[in-house]
Every structure is written in C-alpha cells, then in structure tokens.
Amino acid sequence: MEESNIFANLGGEQTIAAIVNEFYYLLITDEKLAHYFQDVDVNHIRLSHITMLVSFLLGGPNRYHGKNMRKIHKGLNISSEEFELAVTHFKNAMKKYNTPIPQMAKVEALLRFVKPHIIMK
C-alpha cells in the first residue's frame, strides 16, 4: 500500500462510503447546518456525488465528472464558521471508523485546499 494513497490507506471505497454516510448524518442532524439540506435529495448527493468525489480526491479509482465545487456551493453563502463545523464533522466521521491520525491530517489538508471554492466571500 503506497503511503501517499489516502484512498487505500483509509480502507478503500467501502470505508470511505461509511465515512461519507456518517458525515452526512452529522451534517443533517446539526441544527446549524441542516437548513442547507432542506429540499435536497441528500441520498443522491451522498451516494452519487460525494462518495465519488471523495474517493477521487483521495486517490481512488473513481473519476469524478460532476459539477465543480464552486458551482455546487454557489449562492449557499456558507460561512467560514459553518465550513469549520463541517470539517469537524468529517473528522468525527473518520474517528468513528478508526482513521489513523496521519491519514486524517491528509484529508483535512484536502478539505482546507477546497475551502476557497466553498466559501466565496
């Protein structure tokens, strides 16, 4: 297993899907973030886009062909504080699935890399 391949080090698609499922559960049950998911097909987003995108970003075999991050989040007016809360939820989802700290740090770095494409203020 190559050290730089976060996808493989996390356990592949099955583990990433479980992490993404937990992440979305935390998002939609958080009173500060749940409003972003009203009138949205969360299962569609979670299953078809996010798992593919996350797998792709983490070095998996999937190729992402959906909208880019700017288009997806345009007009949502997500604050920096809300973004940080979502990052915390992603980290908690990874902890639930026993993600090693070095891998969590790499994933967090990727999340920080996309922050300017989500927070457009």
Domain ranges of the chain: 6-118
Amino acid of residue 44 = H
pLDDT of residue 64: 67
Round to whole Å and give the CA distance between 94 and 102: 12
Q: Residue 114: is its pLDDT beyond 50? A: yes
Round to whole Å and give the CA distance between 66 and 19: 20
Average pLDDT over residues 74-103: 94
In this structure, which topology does domain 6-118 adopt according to CATH? Globin-like (1.10.490)
* Residue 115: count of CB within 10 angstroms of its CB: 14
Instruction: Give the DSSP H or E segment for 50.
Output: none
Percent of the chain's residues with pLDDT above 90 = 38
pLDDT of residue 43: 83
